[in-house]
């Protein structure tokens, strides 16, 4: 997920993210819905809007927003409907490569998707006849939650919008569909994979990093994703660390990103590696800027530029399917930037 819109000091995410009769192959309603031994119903899930009670194991699972669909899919459960991806390189069904590949692996050629980029499609969601709606990582409002709850029980984020880490996204969504044990194993397996892949990049360990967003048309300001943002937190899984400057910024806000005036760029002088969306001309633009070009990381080229709008850029906000699909490419780009740190 990238940035979606500005609310006073933050830029909200654009990278943020169905009736199953049109599917082919395996049944889209009840695929692999075996229940974990440790899960009992009814269950109560606490979240930002209160509590959701799920009376029995869901047979039809719907997911909305970003990445939630990858949890049931990774556990072998085919959702009855999912939101189309609103950022990155998606296919004709509006799905990112790793999501589309998993559907095909499970025998579904035509998944049911919601075209809800400009707003939730309540009618389509209702037509999918869900038993539960997964939205552990999302930005739904109280009003949206209330409307969705009239359709089916909703699993919302724990505290704040767009601030659910990938581990918590897996745990919350897996538990709701009766697969807590499988979700715990999935987290463990992904952690082992990350450890294995990052072992080849010792140059990342301990490097101070920040995930930023620069608008080439207006370099008078930029955005820093804070530690509560999943894409920023993912960098720490790869061995990097947050500098004190970013930690201090986080103390002043409960949002996932902050707008910074380039006049205050000196506050971020303690960053070793910057990760950002962009193209092959961005670094030159940053280095040529009278203010941004003074930052040591930018001056020496320790900037990991992830092609804007690419599948890799979309994977920066990690899911259980995107992590194994892109971690090697992601590490390579960040590793090359880290090599330039003196």
What residues does each domain of the chain span?
13-179, 202-338
Give tens-digit pLDDT for 53-65: 999 999 999 999 9
The answer to whether residue 6 scores a pLDDT higher than 80 is no
Give the gyration radius of the chain's Cα atoms: 20
Give the pLDDT confidence score for residue 22 in this predicted structure.
Answer: 30
Residue with tokens 């207006």: 218
Stretch (H or E) spanning 247: helix 244-250
Give tens-digit pLDDT for 317-334: 999 999 999 999 999 999
Give the pLDDT confidence score for residue 39 in this predicted structure.
Answer: 81
- Rounded Cα distance between 233 and 211, Å, is 9
Task: Could you please state the CATH topology (level 3) that the domain comprising 202-338 is classified under.
Answer: Rossmann fold (3.40.50)
Give the pLDDT confidence score for residue 25 in this predicted structure.
Answer: 39
Mean pLDDT, rounded, for 199-210: 98
The answer to whether residue 187 scores a pLDDT higher than 80 is yes
Give the pLDDT confidence score for residue 117 in this predicted structure.
Answer: 85
The answer to whether residue 206 scores a pLDDT higher than 70 is yes
Q: Do domains 13-179 and 202-338 have the same CATH topology?
A: yes
The answer to whether residue 100 scores a pLDDT higher than 70 is yes
Query: For residue 285, what are the CA distances in angstroms to 214, 276, 295, 336?
Result: 10, 13, 13, 19
Q: Is 199 exposed, middle or buried (0-12, 13-18, 19+ CB in 10 A)?
A: exposed
Task: Give the neighbor-by-neighbor strand order of the sheet with 257-261.
Answer: 257-261, 218-225, 209-215, 273-278, 303-307
Other Cβ atoms closer than 10 A to 109: 12
Give the pLDDT confidence score for residue 304 in this predicted structure.
Answer: 98
Who's near 107: CB < 8 A, 6+ residues apart?
24, 25, 26
Give the pLDDT confidence score for residue 7 in this predicted structure.
Answer: 35
Give tens-digit pLDDT for 21-50: 233 334 444 445 676 667 899 999 999 999
Altogether, the residues listed in the chain come to a count of 342
Q: What is the pTM of this model?
A: 0.90
The answer to whether residue 20 scores a pLDDT higher than 50 is no
Give the DSSP letter string of 194-242: HHHHHTT-GGGTT-BEEEEEEETTEEEEEEEE-TTSHHHHHHHHTT-B-
- Rounded Cα distance between 341 and 12, Å, is 31
Q: For domain 13-179, is the CATH number 3.40.50.1980? A: yes
Give the pLDDT confidence score for residue 342 in this predicted structure.
Answer: 79
User: 3-class DSSP state for residue 146?
Assistant: helix
């Amino acid at each position: 997920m990238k940035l979606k819109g500005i609310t006073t000091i933050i830029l909200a995410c654009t990278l943020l993210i169905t009736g199953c009769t049109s599917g082919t192959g395996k049944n889209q309603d009840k695929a692999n819905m075996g229940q974990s031994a440790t899960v009992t119903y009814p269950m109560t899930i606490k979240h930002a809007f209160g509590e959701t009670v799920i009376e029995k194991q869901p047979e039809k699972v719907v997911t909305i927003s970003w990445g939630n669909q990858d949890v049931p899919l990774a556990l072998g459960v085919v959702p009855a409907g999912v939101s189309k991806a609103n950022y990155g390189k998606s296919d004709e069904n509006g799905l990112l490569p790793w999501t589309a590949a998993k559907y095909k692996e499970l025998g579904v050629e035509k998944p049911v998707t919601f075209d809800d980029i400009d707003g939730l499609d309540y009618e389509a969601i209702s037509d999918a006849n869900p038993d539960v709606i997964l939205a552990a990582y999302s930005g739904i409002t109280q009003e949206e939650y209330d409307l969705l709850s009239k359709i089916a029980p909703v699993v919302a984020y724990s505290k704040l919008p767009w601030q659910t880490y990938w581990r918590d996204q897996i745990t919350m969504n897996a538990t709701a569909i009766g697969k807590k044990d499988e979700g715990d194993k999935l987290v463990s397996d992904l952690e082992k994979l990350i450890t294995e892949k990052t072992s080849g990049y010792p140059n990342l360990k301990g490097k101070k990093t920040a995930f930023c967003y620069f608008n080439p048309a207006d370099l008078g300001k930029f955005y820093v994703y804070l530690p509560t943002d999943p894409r920023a937190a993912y960098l720490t899984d790869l061995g990097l660390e947050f500098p004190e400057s970013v930690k201090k910024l986080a103390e002043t806000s409960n949002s996932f990103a902050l707008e910074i005036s380039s006049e205050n760029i000196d506050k971020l002088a303690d960053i070793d590696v910057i990760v950002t969306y962009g193209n092959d001309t961005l670094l030159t633009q940053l280095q040529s800027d009278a203010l941004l070009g003074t930052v040591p990381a930018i001056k020496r080229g320790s900037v990991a530029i992830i092609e804007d709008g690419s599948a890799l850029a979309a994977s920066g906000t990690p899911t259980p399917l995107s992590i194994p699909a892109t971690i090697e490419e992601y590490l390579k780009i960040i590793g090359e930037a880290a090599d330039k740190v003196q």
